[in-house]
Structure 1
Amino acid sequence: MDNLTPEQRRKNMKNIRSKDTSIENLLRKALWHRGYRYRKNYNKLPGKPDIALTKYKIAIFCDGEFFHGKDWEILKPRLEKSHNSDYWINKISRNKERDEEVNKKLLFLGWTVIRFWGKDIKKNLDHCIQVIEETIFDIKIGDGEKE
Protein backbone atom coordinates (compact mmCIF):
# COMPACT_ATOMS: atom_id res chain seq x y z
CA MET A 1 0.00 0.00 0.00
CA ASP A 2 2.61 2.53 1.03
CA ASN A 3 6.34 2.56 1.59
CA LEU A 4 6.62 3.69 5.19
CA THR A 5 9.37 2.38 7.41
CA PRO A 6 8.24 0.58 10.58
CA GLU A 7 9.26 3.65 12.58
CA GLN A 8 7.25 6.02 10.36
CA ARG A 9 4.23 3.73 10.58
CA ARG A 10 4.53 3.52 14.38
CA LYS A 11 4.63 7.31 14.58
CA ASN A 12 1.53 7.61 12.35
CA MET A 13 -0.40 5.06 14.39
CA LYS A 14 0.53 6.76 17.68
CA ASN A 15 -0.99 10.00 16.44
CA ILE A 16 -4.40 8.51 15.60
CA ARG A 17 -6.88 9.59 18.24
CA SER A 18 -9.93 7.76 19.49
CA LYS A 19 -11.75 10.85 20.71
CA ASP A 20 -11.77 14.60 20.12
CA THR A 21 -10.71 14.07 16.53
CA SER A 22 -10.74 16.91 14.02
CA ILE A 23 -13.94 15.62 12.41
CA GLU A 24 -15.70 15.36 15.78
CA ASN A 25 -14.60 18.86 16.72
CA LEU A 26 -15.76 20.26 13.38
CA LEU A 27 -19.24 18.79 13.79
CA ARG A 28 -19.48 19.74 17.47
CA LYS A 29 -18.50 23.33 16.78
CA ALA A 30 -21.14 23.63 14.04
CA LEU A 31 -23.82 22.15 16.32
CA TRP A 32 -22.81 24.42 19.21
CA HIS A 33 -23.03 27.53 17.01
CA ARG A 34 -26.56 26.53 16.04
CA GLY A 35 -27.53 26.35 19.69
CA TYR A 36 -27.52 22.58 20.16
CA ARG A 37 -26.14 21.29 23.43
CA TYR A 38 -24.70 17.80 23.64
CA ARG A 39 -22.59 15.35 25.60
CA LYS A 40 -19.16 14.33 24.30
CA ASN A 41 -18.15 10.65 24.31
CA TYR A 42 -21.24 9.88 26.36
CA ASN A 43 -20.24 6.84 28.42
CA LYS A 44 -23.75 6.18 29.75
CA LEU A 45 -24.64 4.75 26.34
CA PRO A 46 -23.33 1.72 24.45
CA GLY A 47 -20.48 2.62 22.13
CA LYS A 48 -19.85 6.00 23.84
CA PRO A 49 -21.28 8.14 21.02
CA ASP A 50 -18.98 10.95 19.90
CA ILE A 51 -21.94 13.34 20.25
CA ALA A 52 -25.12 12.61 22.19
CA LEU A 53 -28.05 14.99 21.87
CA THR A 54 -29.71 13.73 25.06
CA LYS A 55 -32.73 16.04 24.72
CA TYR A 56 -33.68 14.27 21.48
CA LYS A 57 -32.09 10.85 22.16
CA ILE A 58 -29.82 11.12 19.13
CA ALA A 59 -26.44 9.37 19.15
CA ILE A 60 -23.96 10.61 16.55
CA PHE A 61 -20.79 8.80 15.52
CA CYS A 62 -18.01 10.30 13.41
CA ASP A 63 -16.37 7.29 11.78
CA GLY A 64 -12.99 7.27 10.10
CA GLU A 65 -13.11 5.58 6.71
CA PHE A 66 -10.21 3.19 7.27
CA PHE A 67 -10.91 1.92 10.79
CA HIS A 68 -14.66 1.54 10.20
CA GLY A 69 -14.27 -0.12 6.80
CA LYS A 70 -15.85 2.31 4.35
CA ASP A 71 -16.18 0.67 0.92
CA TRP A 72 -15.14 -2.63 2.54
CA GLU A 73 -15.55 -4.57 -0.71
CA ILE A 74 -12.79 -2.37 -2.18
CA LEU A 75 -10.62 -1.98 0.93
CA LYS A 76 -10.53 -5.64 1.97
CA PRO A 77 -8.86 -6.93 -1.24
CA ARG A 78 -6.30 -4.12 -0.98
CA LEU A 79 -5.57 -5.08 2.63
CA GLU A 80 -5.16 -8.74 1.64
CA LYS A 81 -2.12 -7.70 -0.40
CA SER A 82 -0.64 -5.55 2.36
CA HIS A 83 1.73 -6.13 5.24
CA ASN A 84 0.06 -7.63 8.34
CA SER A 85 -3.15 -8.22 6.38
CA ASP A 86 -4.69 -10.73 8.82
CA TYR A 87 -4.42 -8.25 11.68
CA TRP A 88 -6.05 -5.39 9.75
CA ILE A 89 -8.80 -7.47 8.18
CA ASN A 90 -9.72 -8.93 11.57
CA LYS A 91 -9.54 -5.56 13.30
CA ILE A 92 -11.68 -3.71 10.77
CA SER A 93 -14.15 -6.60 10.47
CA ARG A 94 -14.57 -6.59 14.23
CA ASN A 95 -15.01 -2.77 14.24
CA LYS A 96 -17.77 -3.12 11.64
CA GLU A 97 -19.49 -5.83 13.72
CA ARG A 98 -19.19 -3.71 16.86
CA ASP A 99 -20.69 -0.70 15.07
CA GLU A 100 -23.71 -2.83 14.12
CA GLU A 101 -24.05 -4.20 17.68
CA VAL A 102 -23.90 -0.68 19.11
CA ASN A 103 -26.51 0.55 16.60
CA LYS A 104 -28.88 -2.26 17.62
CA LYS A 105 -28.39 -1.65 21.35
CA LEU A 106 -29.03 2.09 20.97
CA LEU A 107 -32.12 1.52 18.81
CA PHE A 108 -33.44 -0.91 21.42
CA LEU A 109 -32.97 1.80 24.07
CA GLY A 110 -35.03 4.20 21.95
CA TRP A 111 -32.16 6.26 20.55
CA THR A 112 -31.76 7.39 16.96
CA VAL A 113 -28.32 6.61 15.57
CA ILE A 114 -26.59 8.78 12.97
CA ARG A 115 -23.20 7.81 11.56
CA PHE A 116 -21.12 10.10 9.38
CA TRP A 117 -17.93 9.30 7.51
CA GLY A 118 -15.06 11.65 8.27
CA LYS A 119 -14.72 12.87 4.69
CA ASP A 120 -18.45 13.67 4.55
CA ILE A 121 -18.09 15.86 7.63
CA LYS A 122 -15.05 17.63 6.15
CA LYS A 123 -16.49 18.12 2.66
CA ASN A 124 -20.24 18.47 3.39
CA LEU A 125 -20.55 19.81 6.93
CA ASP A 126 -23.73 21.73 6.08
CA HIS A 127 -25.36 18.57 4.77
CA CYS A 128 -24.42 16.68 7.95
CA ILE A 129 -25.98 19.44 10.07
CA GLN A 130 -29.07 19.31 7.83
CA VAL A 131 -29.39 15.54 8.42
CA ILE A 132 -29.21 16.11 12.19
CA GLU A 133 -31.71 18.99 12.10
CA GLU A 134 -34.16 16.98 9.96
CA THR A 135 -33.86 14.11 12.45
CA ILE A 136 -34.58 16.51 15.34
CA PHE A 137 -37.57 17.90 13.42
CA ASP A 138 -38.91 14.37 12.81
CA ILE A 139 -38.53 13.53 16.50
CA LYS A 140 -40.31 16.74 17.53
CA ILE A 141 -43.17 15.98 15.11
CA GLY A 142 -43.36 12.41 16.45
CA ASP A 143 -43.52 13.66 20.05
CA GLY A 144 -46.18 16.18 19.12
CA GLU A 145 -48.39 13.48 17.66
CA LYS A 146 -48.27 11.48 20.90
CA GLU A 147 -49.63 14.33 22.99
Structure 2
Amino acid sequence: MRLLNPKTDDDGEIQKMDTLPGTRLGYLFYGWSQDKLPPQIRGVIVTEGSFNALAIQQALNKMYGGVTRNPWRVIAASGSGATTHQREVLKELKDAGYKVVVSPDTDKAGLHMLQKMKETDSMTHYALTGDQKKDWNDCLKEMGHDEFAKFFISRIKSVKK
Protein backbone atom coordinates (compact mmCIF):
# COMPACT_ATOMS: atom_id res chain seq x y z
CA MET A 1 0.00 0.00 0.00
CA ARG A 2 1.30 3.48 -0.83
CA LEU A 3 0.60 6.13 1.78
CA LEU A 4 -0.94 9.31 0.36
CA ASN A 5 0.56 11.29 3.21
CA PRO A 6 3.94 9.78 4.08
CA LYS A 7 4.49 9.29 7.78
CA THR A 8 7.62 9.83 9.84
CA ASP A 9 8.73 7.02 12.16
CA ASP A 10 10.33 7.37 15.60
CA ASP A 11 13.82 7.61 14.03
CA GLY A 12 12.79 10.50 11.79
CA GLU A 13 12.73 8.34 8.64
CA ILE A 14 9.94 9.06 6.16
CA GLN A 15 7.85 6.00 5.33
CA LYS A 16 6.10 6.08 1.94
CA MET A 17 4.96 2.46 1.79
CA ASP A 18 3.45 0.10 4.32
CA THR A 19 2.29 -3.49 4.24
CA LEU A 20 -0.94 -4.23 6.00
CA PRO A 21 -0.75 -7.02 8.60
CA GLY A 22 -2.11 -10.30 7.28
CA THR A 23 -1.48 -9.55 3.61
CA ARG A 24 0.42 -11.93 1.39
CA LEU A 25 2.77 -9.31 -0.06
CA GLY A 26 5.69 -11.03 1.61
CA TYR A 27 5.18 -14.01 -0.70
CA LEU A 28 4.97 -11.97 -3.88
CA PHE A 29 7.18 -9.93 -6.17
CA TYR A 30 5.87 -7.14 -8.34
CA GLY A 31 6.60 -8.03 -11.97
CA TRP A 32 7.07 -11.78 -11.55
CA SER A 33 4.58 -14.52 -10.73
CA GLN A 34 7.46 -16.83 -9.69
CA ASP A 35 6.78 -19.06 -12.69
CA LYS A 36 9.73 -20.31 -14.70
CA LEU A 37 11.57 -17.40 -16.29
CA PRO A 38 11.62 -17.10 -20.11
CA PRO A 39 14.73 -18.60 -21.77
CA GLN A 40 16.35 -15.26 -22.64
CA ILE A 41 16.41 -14.15 -18.98
CA ARG A 42 19.91 -14.36 -17.47
CA GLY A 43 19.30 -12.33 -14.34
CA VAL A 44 16.81 -10.54 -12.14
CA ILE A 45 17.05 -7.03 -10.78
CA VAL A 46 15.27 -6.48 -7.46
CA THR A 47 14.04 -3.04 -6.40
CA GLU A 48 12.06 -1.94 -3.37
CA GLY A 49 9.06 -0.55 -5.23
CA SER A 50 7.11 -1.02 -8.43
CA PHE A 51 7.85 2.44 -9.89
CA ASN A 52 11.59 1.77 -9.76
CA ALA A 53 11.11 -1.70 -11.24
CA LEU A 54 9.08 -0.24 -14.10
CA ALA A 55 11.64 2.52 -14.71
CA ILE A 56 14.52 0.07 -15.00
CA GLN A 57 12.56 -2.54 -17.00
CA GLN A 58 11.36 0.01 -19.57
CA ALA A 59 14.81 1.52 -20.04
CA LEU A 60 16.48 -1.88 -20.43
CA ASN A 61 13.76 -3.13 -22.80
CA LYS A 62 14.49 -0.15 -25.03
CA MET A 63 18.26 -0.61 -24.74
CA TYR A 64 18.09 -4.29 -25.73
CA GLY A 65 15.53 -3.83 -28.52
CA GLY A 66 12.41 -5.13 -26.80
CA VAL A 67 11.14 -7.27 -23.98
CA THR A 68 11.90 -10.55 -25.79
CA ARG A 69 15.58 -9.59 -26.23
CA ASN A 70 16.15 -8.14 -22.77
CA PRO A 71 18.14 -10.60 -20.61
CA TRP A 72 16.89 -8.94 -17.40
CA ARG A 73 13.61 -9.34 -15.49
CA VAL A 74 13.10 -6.43 -13.10
CA ILE A 75 10.97 -7.19 -10.05
CA ALA A 76 10.11 -5.43 -6.80
CA ALA A 77 10.01 -6.74 -3.26
CA SER A 78 7.19 -4.25 -2.50
CA GLY A 79 9.14 -2.53 0.25
CA SER A 80 12.55 -2.65 1.87
CA GLY A 81 11.55 -5.52 4.16
CA ALA A 82 12.67 -8.29 1.79
CA THR A 83 10.92 -11.14 3.59
CA THR A 84 12.52 -14.46 4.41
CA HIS A 85 10.48 -16.07 1.64
CA GLN A 86 11.61 -13.50 -0.93
CA ARG A 87 15.25 -13.92 0.07
CA GLU A 88 14.95 -17.72 -0.19
CA VAL A 89 13.43 -17.48 -3.68
CA LEU A 90 16.20 -15.13 -4.82
CA LYS A 91 18.85 -17.44 -3.36
CA GLU A 92 17.35 -20.33 -5.33
CA LEU A 93 17.63 -18.26 -8.52
CA LYS A 94 21.23 -17.35 -7.68
CA ASP A 95 22.08 -20.99 -6.99
CA ALA A 96 20.48 -21.94 -10.33
CA GLY A 97 22.95 -19.64 -12.12
CA TYR A 98 20.94 -16.46 -12.52
CA LYS A 99 22.49 -13.11 -11.68
CA VAL A 100 20.56 -11.42 -8.86
CA VAL A 101 21.12 -7.65 -8.73
CA VAL A 102 19.68 -5.96 -5.64
CA SER A 103 18.93 -2.31 -6.43
CA PRO A 104 17.32 -0.63 -3.43
CA ASP A 105 16.92 3.05 -2.70
CA THR A 106 20.09 4.60 -1.27
CA ASP A 107 18.52 5.46 2.08
CA LYS A 108 18.64 3.78 5.49
CA ALA A 109 15.83 1.33 4.67
CA GLY A 110 17.29 0.45 1.28
CA LEU A 111 20.77 -0.15 2.67
CA HIS A 112 19.19 -2.35 5.35
CA MET A 113 17.53 -4.40 2.59
CA LEU A 114 20.87 -4.70 0.81
CA GLN A 115 22.55 -5.90 4.01
CA LYS A 116 19.85 -8.54 4.63
CA MET A 117 20.22 -9.85 1.08
CA LYS A 118 23.99 -10.01 1.43
CA GLU A 119 23.84 -11.78 4.82
CA THR A 120 21.54 -14.48 3.41
CA ASP A 121 23.66 -14.94 0.26
CA SER A 122 20.64 -14.02 -1.88
CA MET A 123 22.42 -11.86 -4.46
CA THR A 124 25.35 -11.81 -6.85
CA HIS A 125 25.44 -8.07 -7.57
CA TYR A 126 24.06 -4.76 -6.36
CA ALA A 127 23.41 -1.32 -7.83
CA LEU A 128 22.91 2.00 -6.05
CA THR A 129 22.04 5.42 -7.48
CA GLY A 130 24.84 7.10 -5.56
CA ASP A 131 22.45 9.81 -4.36
CA GLN A 132 20.49 9.40 -1.13
CA LYS A 133 17.77 11.75 -2.38
CA LYS A 134 17.11 10.03 -5.72
CA ASP A 135 15.63 6.66 -6.49
CA TRP A 136 15.89 4.92 -9.87
CA ASN A 137 12.67 6.47 -11.18
CA ASP A 138 13.97 9.95 -10.33
CA CYS A 139 17.12 9.19 -12.33
CA LEU A 140 15.05 8.00 -15.31
CA LYS A 141 12.97 11.19 -15.28
CA GLU A 142 16.14 13.30 -15.30
CA MET A 143 18.08 11.32 -17.90
CA GLY A 144 15.60 9.75 -20.28
CA HIS A 145 15.49 6.05 -21.17
CA ASP A 146 18.68 5.74 -23.22
CA GLU A 147 21.04 7.55 -20.86
CA PHE A 148 19.40 6.00 -17.81
CA ALA A 149 19.81 2.42 -19.12
CA LYS A 150 23.55 2.99 -19.61
CA PHE A 151 23.80 4.66 -16.20
CA PHE A 152 22.02 1.77 -14.49
CA ILE A 153 24.24 -0.88 -16.11
CA SER A 154 27.33 1.13 -15.09
CA ARG A 155 26.17 1.10 -11.45
CA ILE A 156 26.07 -2.73 -11.18
CA LYS A 157 28.84 -4.03 -8.92
CA SER A 158 29.76 -7.58 -7.94
CA VAL A 159 29.31 -8.69 -4.34
CA LYS A 160 32.72 -9.36 -2.86
CA LYS A 161 32.99 -12.45 -0.69
* TM over 0.5, shorter chain: no
| Bigger RCO (CA 8 Å, 6+ sep) | 1
Structure 1 or 2: more strand by fraction: 2
Structure 1 or 2: more helix by fraction: 1
TM-score under structure 1 length normalisation: 0.41
Structure with bigger gyration radius: 1
TM-score under structure 2 length normalisation: 0.39
